[in-house]
Amino acid sequence: MEIPYNVQVREDTGLYNSKLGIWLFLASEVMLFGGLFSAYILLRTGAPVWPPIGEHGSIMHILKETIPHATFNTVVLIASSVTMVMAWVSLKMKDLRKFRIYLGTTLLCALVFLIVKYFEYSHKIHEGFVPSHDTYMALYFTLTGLHVLHIIGGMIVLGYFFGPGIKMWDNEPERFTNRIEIVGLYWHFVDLVWIFLFPILYLLN
Amino acid sequence: MSVKDMTHHIANYRKIFVFLLIGTALTVAASYMEFNVQNSIAGAVFVGLTIAAIKGYLVAANFMHLNSEKKIIHWILLLTVFFLSLLLFIPLLWDLNLMSHY
Neighboring chain A residues of B10 at a CB cutoff of 8 Å: 86, 89
- Count of pairs with CB atoms under 8 A, one residue in A, one in B: 117
DSSP codes, A125-152: HHTT--TTS-HHHHHHHHHHHHHHHHHH
B11's enclosing H/E stretch is helix B3-32
* CA distance, residue B36 to nearest chain A CA (Å): 16
* CA distance, residue A98 to nearest chain B CA (Å): 13
- pTM, two decimals, is 0.93
- Confidence label for B13 from pLDDT (cuts 50, 70 and 90): very high
Query: Exposed, middle or buried by CB within 10 Å (0-12, 13-18, 19+), for A48?
Result: exposed
- pLDDT tens digits, residue range A185-196? 999 999 999 999
- Asked if A73 and A193 count as a contact pair (C-beta separation under 8 A), the reply is no
The predicted pLDDT at position A195 comes to 96
- pLDDT tens digits, residue range B31-84? 887 766 666 677 778 888 999 999 999 999 999 999 989 999 999 999 999 999
Asked if B52 lies within 8 A of A74 by C-beta distance, the reply is: no
Residue-wise burial string across A65-100, b where 16 or more C-beta atoms lie within 10 A, e elsewhere: ebeeebbebbebbbbbbbbbbbbbbbbbbeeeeebe
Q: Is A198 on the interface with B (CB under 8 A)?
A: yes
Asked if B88 lies within 8 A of A199 by C-beta distance, the reply is: no
Q: What is the average per-residue pLDDT within A19-23?
A: 96
**What was the ipTM of the complex prediction?**
0.91
- Confidence label for B98 from pLDDT (cuts 50, 70 and 90): low
Q: What is the average per-residue pLDDT within A126-132?
A: 92
Q: Which is more confident, A60 or A147? A: A147
Of B31, B63, B88, the CB nearest to A81: B63
Return the CATH fold of A17-49+60-203: Four Helix Bundle (Hemerythrin (Met), subunit A) (1.20.120)
Of B6, B51, B88, the CB nearest to A34: B88
Asked if B21 lies within 8 A of A75 by C-beta distance, the reply is: yes
* CA distance, residue A13 to nearest chain B CA (Å): 7
Q: Is A51 on the interface with B (CB under 8 A)?
A: no
Q: What is the maximum alpha-carbon separation in chain B? A: 66
% of residues, chain A, pLDDT over 90: 77
- Confidence label for A59 from pLDDT (cuts 50, 70 and 90): confident
**Amino acid identity for residue A36 in this structure:** L
Asked if A38 lies within 8 A of B88 by C-beta distance, the reply is: yes
Asked if A37 lies within 8 A of B1 by C-beta distance, the reply is: no
- pLDDT tens digits, residue range A137-151? 999 999 999 999 999
The predicted pLDDT at position B32 comes to 84
Please measure the distance between the N-terminal and C-terminal CA atoms of chain B and give it in whole angstroms: 62
SS (H, E, C) A148-193: HHHHHHHHHHHHHHHCHHHHHHHHCHHHHHHHHHHHHHHHHHHHHH
